[in-house]
Structure 1
Amino acid sequence: MILSPFEWTIAKRYLLPGKSEAFIALVASISIGVVMLSVAMLVVVMSVMNGFRAELLDKIVGLNGHAIVQAYGGRLDDWENILEEVRATPGVVDASPLIEQPLAISFNGRIQGVSVRGNTDEDLAELADKTISGDFSELQAGAGKLAIGVRLAENIGARVGDTITVINLQGRSTPFGTMPRQIGYEVAAIFEVGVYDYDGAFVVMPMQDAQTLLLIGDSVQMIEVTVENADEVGEILAPLSQSLSGRAVVNDWKTINATLFDALQVERAAMAFALSFMVLVAAFNILSSLVMLVRAKTRDIAIMRTMGATRQSLMKIFVTTGFTVGAIGTLAGLALGFAILAGRQQIVQAIGALTGQDLWDPQYRFLTTIPSKVDGGEVTMIVLLALGLSFLATLYPAWKAANTDPVQVLRYE
Structure 2
Amino acid sequence: MLLSPFEWMIAKRYMLPGKGERMIALVASIGVIVVMLSVALLIVVMSVMNGFRAELVDKIVGLNGHAIVQAYGGRLENWQDILKQIKATDGVTEAAPLIEQPLLTTFNGRVEAILLRGNTPEDIAKIKPKVVDGDLSGLVPESGAVAVGSRLAENLGARVGDTITIINPQGRSTPFGTVPREIAYRVDAIFEIGIYDYDERFVVMPMADAQTLLLTGDSIGMIEVKTDDADTAAETLAPIAAKLEGQAVVSDWKTINSGLFEALQVERVAMFFALSLIVLVAAFNILSSLAMMVHTKSRDIAIMRTMGATRKSMLRTFVTAGTVVGTAGTLAGLALGFIILIFRQPIVTGIELLTGQSLWDPKIRFLTELPARTDPIEVVGIVGLAIGLSFLATLYPAYRAASTDPVQVLRYE
Shorter chain as normaliser: what TM range? over 0.9
1:177 CA displacement: 2.1
**Secondary structure of 1:95 counterpart:** strand
**Cross-structure match for 2:367:** 367
What amino acid sits opposite 1:230 in the alignment? A
1:26 CA displacement: 1.4
**Secondary structure of 1:143 counterpart:** coil
**Cross-structure match for 1:231:** 231
**Secondary structure of 1:136 counterpart:** coil
**Secondary structure of 1:74 counterpart:** coil
**Cross-structure match for 1:203:** 203
Output aligned runs, 1:387-406, within 5 Å. 387-406=387-406
1:237 CA displacement: 1.8
Residues 258-303 of structure 1: CA deviation (Å, up to 9, x unaligned):
1111111111111111111001000000000100111121111111
Structure 1 residues not aligned, in runs of 5+: none
Output aligned runs, 1:311-390, within 5 Å. 311-390=311-390
Question: Are 2:81 and 1:81 aligned?
Answer: yes
Structure 2 residues not aligned, in runs of 5+: none
1:112 CA displacement: 1.5
CA distance in 2, matches of 1:90, 1:29: 60
**Secondary structure of 2:80 counterpart:** helix
What amino acid sits opposite 2:66 in the alignment? H
**Secondary structure of 1:140 counterpart:** coil
CA distance in 2, matches of 1:327, 1:233: 43
CA distance in 2, matches of 1:303, 1:76: 89
Residues 8-30 of structure 1: CA deviation (Å, up to 9, x unaligned):
11111111122222221111111
What amino acid sits opposite 1:124 in the alignment? I
What amino acid sits opposite 2:127 in the alignment? L
CA distance in 2, matches of 1:326, 1:236: 48
**Cross-structure match for 1:68:** 68
What amino acid sits opposite 2:105 in the alignment? I
**Secondary structure of 2:167 counterpart:** strand
**Cross-structure match for 2:39:** 39
The 4+ residue runs of structure 1 with deviation greater than 3 A are: none
Residues 223-271 of structure 1: CA deviation (Å, up to 9, x unaligned):
1111222222222222221121122100111111111111111111111
**Cross-structure match for 2:51:** 51
The count of aligned residue pairs is 413
CA distance in 2, matches of 1:3, 1:131: 63
CA distance in 2, matches of 1:124, 1:349: 34
**Cross-structure match for 1:7:** 7
**Cross-structure match for 1:108:** 108
Percent identity over the alignment is 69
Question: Are 2:149 and 1:149 aligned?
Answer: yes
Output aligned runs, 1:114-263, within 5 Å. 114-263=114-263
TM-score, normalising length from structure 2? 0.98
CA distance in 2, matches of 1:229, 1:320: 47
1:384 CA displacement: 1.1
CA distance in 2, matches of 1:228, 1:377: 24
**Cross-structure match for 2:17:** 17
TM-score, normalising length from structure 1? 0.98
What amino acid sits opposite 1:244 in the alignment? L
What amino acid sits opposite 1:233 in the alignment? A
CA distance in 2, matches of 1:280, 1:138: 61
**Which is worse superposed, 206-215 or 12-21?**
12-21
CA distance in 2, matches of 1:400, 1:347: 45
**Secondary structure of 2:74 counterpart:** coil
**Which is worse superposed, 23-32 or 234-243?**
234-243
**Secondary structure of 2:115 counterpart:** strand
